[in-house]
Amino acid sequence: MAENGKRPAAGLADALRATFADCYDLETRTIAVGGAGGLAAELFYLDGLVSGGDMSDYVLRPLTERARFRGARTPRAAAARIMAGAVYDFNARLAPDAAAAADDLLSGFCCLVFADGTAVSFEVKTGDKRAVDQPKEEKVVRGSKDAFVEVLKVNTMLVRRKIRDRQLKIRALELGGRTRTKTALVYLEGFTNEAVLREAERRLRAIDAEEVLSPAVITENIADRPRSLFPQVLVTERPDKFCLNLLEGRVGILADGLPMGFLVPATFAQFMKVPEDHASHFLIASFLTALRYAAFFLALILPAFYVAVAMYHQEMIPVKLLRSIINAKQAVPFPTAFETLLMLFAFELLQEAGLRLPNPVGQTVSIIGALIVGQSAVEARVVSPVVVVVVALSGICGYIMPDLDMGSGVRILRFLLVLAAILAGMFGVAMGFTMIVYHLAGLESFGVPYMSPFAGGEGKHLSRALLRWPMDRKRDREPELRPGRER
């Protein structure tokens, strides 16, 4: 009970109650600051967002100790004592109005409101969050095994642990009208191109969305050409990959609630790299990088190439293989075009089914689907074995893509190329491929040509895209990023 036996006056407290009306998780506790007979105050918090233990130990206990507040007769004096350290809590701030206080409550603070409307917020966020775990999508055999989580502070901690540089800056923004998601712009001052940084911030601030609950809200809003099938923002769940790119001069974006980091500018060559390249011998890493490019090409072209050859250019197939294909296809009732499209479609269905189902079941479905559908389809003479091999090989090559978005783009494009092959054979495939290259050549990411260093530069740093040079060789930053420092 307060000194004069009264409750704190209406005003800020009532405003808070009004704001959180119909919110069962709003809790309040009336206390006397400085112990019995002290100043009346009401403690507001949102149950679930706060840690009860922290609140009790670091807020309530010191607040109720008479010695700490001896001589503080007014709420302002008490607030001054609190801000001077009378309360242990590591993060305390004055809430100037009800809106600020409400925001603090929503951010995991508890808010002490005095009778005269003076309010102080204490950070007592709950520690309930997903632990830092291994990456699910970007697995490596050798290298660090931590991945981003949904909590921004943890993610920034992961970055700071890897780059203990005073130049590392983390600029905070708030995105999403409703979700008001805390977002951080991460960069290395002096390394990152200022124009890119400014543009990244401008595009982020220009996002007109109510929520930032999915990565697409960020990627599609800041990409130069969001309608393109090719990703223009590098998304990663790995802090080491995130930091490597920051050190290259890229701008990173972390958003609360999203267990991933976004990096811009992004180029095609970036999507072919994996962090494990830096863990392997440089020759092996270079070989694997070349393999990925070959896999990209095969994933895109192989089904269309097969259709073109099987329908129009059979002279390319050696006689023995051609005879084998002819024998296998004798009893198949469908034309080559249809069976290829059918198998591609079936492959997509299996892939989606494998993703949607729970892990153990999903893997089983994928294996059974591949075996039963593929095997049975061949035995039932619905499709010929060659088509199954071609589609499976193309699919496997697609999985070699380090980036999920790039792989997804390829999945759609290969359908289009198959259609082009059906209509016009090798001419159609070549024309389709040329137009894909033309489209890629027109993409830019924050002023950086998407196809650099293959195009748009001076051609000097081509090897950087294809090879991984030994670590003891002097390494310059990618000139296309126009970094503040070359080395």
Partner 1 sequence: MKIRALFIIGVALALLTGCAGAGVFADYREVEQLEIIRTIGIDKGPEGVTVTADTGVEEDGRAPKLFRTAAPTLSAALEQLQETPRGRRMVFAHTEQVVIGETAARAGLAGYLDYIERATEMRIGTGVFIVRDGTAEDLLAACAGEGSSAADMLLFLKTEIRNMGCGFVYTCGDIAAGLASEGCALAQAVERAPGETVTEEERAMVRPAGFAVLAEGALAGYLTEEESRGAALLLGKVERDDMTAAAESGTAALSFRGAGMRVRPLFLGGSLDRLSVAVRTEAAVKEASEGLTLTAAETRRALAQDLAARETERAAAAVARSQAMGLDFLGLCAAAERASPLRFGALRDRGAADIGTMTVEVTVSAAVRRTFDVADPFSVRGKGA
Partner 2 sequence: MSAIQGHDTISERQLCALCFAALFSPLIRLLPRLPAAFAGRAAWLSPLAAAAAGALWLAFLRAFLRRRAEGEGLFELAERCLGPAAGRVLAALCALWLVFYGGVMLRVSAERFLSTIYANGRPTVFIAVMGAAAGWAAAGGLRQLARTAEVLLALILLAMGAVFLFSLTEVEPARLLPVKPGDAGGILLGALPMLDMMSVYAYGVFLLRYVKKTPEEGRRPVRWMLLLTAAATAVLVMTVGAASAELVKDMQSPFFLVIRSIAVLGFIERIEAVVVGLWVAADFLLLAFVWLIAGDILKLLAGGRSRRPFAAGAAAVSIAAAFAVADNAFFLRKAAEYGIPAVNLAAAFVLLPALFLVGRARGKL
Task: Give residues in contact with partner 2 (CB under 8 A).
Answer: 308-309, 312-313, 315-318, 321, 424-427, 429-431, 434-435, 437-438, 440-442, 449, 451, 454-456, 458-459
**To 5 degrees, how large is the angle CA 411–CA 369–CA 307?**
45
8 A C-beta contact, residue 469 and residue 179? no
For residue 92, give the nearest of 83, 101, 84, 100 by alpha carbon: 83
Contact between 326 and partner 1 by CB under 8 A: the answer reads yes
> Among 15, 26, 157, 322, which residue interacts with partner 1 (rule: CB under 8 A)?
322
Contact between 311 and partner 1 by CB under 8 A: the answer reads yes
Which does residue 325 touch among partner 1, partner 2, none (CB within 5 to 8 A, set by kind)?
partner 1
Contact between 320 and partner 1 by CB under 8 A: the answer reads yes
Contact between 323 and partner 1 by CB under 8 A: the answer reads yes
Q: How far apart are CA 394 and CA 156, in angstroms?
A: 38
Cβ closer to partner 1: 311 or 346? 311
Cβ closer to partner 1: 294 or 423? 423
Contact between 319 and partner 1 by CB under 8 A: the answer reads yes
Which does residue 430 touch among partner 1, partner 2, none (CB within 5 to 8 A, set by kind)?
partner 2
* Cβ partners under 8 Å of residue 281, min gap 6: none
Contact between 227 and partner 1 by CB under 8 A: the answer reads no
> Among 128, 315, 458, 472, which residue interacts with partner 1 (rule: CB under 8 A)?
315
> Binders of partner 1: how many residues, by CB under 8 A?
23
* 3-state secondary structure at position 21: coil
Pairing state between β 261-264 and 251-255: antiparallel
Cβ closer to partner 1: 185 or 417? 417
Q: Amino acid letter at 307? A: V
Q: How far apart are CA 160 and CA 103, in angstroms?
A: 27
* Cβ partners under 8 Å of residue 366, min gap 6: 350, 351, 353, 354
Q: How far apart are CA 16 and CA 13, in angstroms?
A: 5
CB of 328 to partner 2, least distance (A): 18
8 A C-beta contact, residue 274 and residue 140? yes
x/- binding map, residues 384-423, to partner 1, per CB under 8 A?
---------------------------------------x
Which does residue 330 touch among partner 2, partner 1, none (CB within 5 to 8 A, set by kind)?
partner 1
Phi, psi of 322 (to 5 degrees): -65, -45
Question: DSSP code of 60?
Answer: I
CB of 339 to partner 1, least distance (A): 11
For residue 150, give the nearest of 177, 168, 131 by alpha carbon: 131
Which does residue 106 touch among partner 1, partner 2, none (CB within 5 to 8 A, set by kind)?
none
> What tokens were used for 283?
């020759």
> What tokens were used for 109?
């603070």
CB of 358 to partner 1, least distance (A): 42
**Helix, strand counts (H, E) of the chain:** 17, 12
Contact between 427 and partner 1 by CB under 8 A: the answer reads yes
8 A C-beta contact, residue 111 and residue 15? no
CB of 437 to partner 1, least distance (A): 18
CB of 306 to partner 1, least distance (A): 11
Q: Long-range contacts: 380-383, Cβ < 8 Å, 24+? A: 381/331, 381/332, 381/333, 382/332, 382/333, 382/334, 382/339, 382/342, 383/332, 383/334, 383/339, 383/342, 383/343
Which does residue 52 touch among partner 2, partner 1, none (CB within 5 to 8 A, set by kind)?
none
> Among 68, 81, 182, 329, which residue interacts with partner 1 (rule: CB under 8 A)?
329
> What tokens were used for 22?
């119909």
> Among 143, 261, 374, 425, which residue interacts with partner 1 (rule: CB under 8 A)?
425
Contact between 312 and partner 1 by CB under 8 A: the answer reads yes
Which does residue 226 touch among partner 1, partner 2, none (CB within 5 to 8 A, set by kind)?
none
CB of 377 to partner 1, least distance (A): 17
Q: How many CB atoms lie within 10 A of CB 324?
A: 15
Which does residue 53 touch among partner 1, partner 2, none (CB within 5 to 8 A, set by kind)?
none
Binding residues for partner 1 (CB under 8 A): 310-312, 314-315, 319-320, 322-327, 329-330, 332, 335-336, 423-425, 427-428
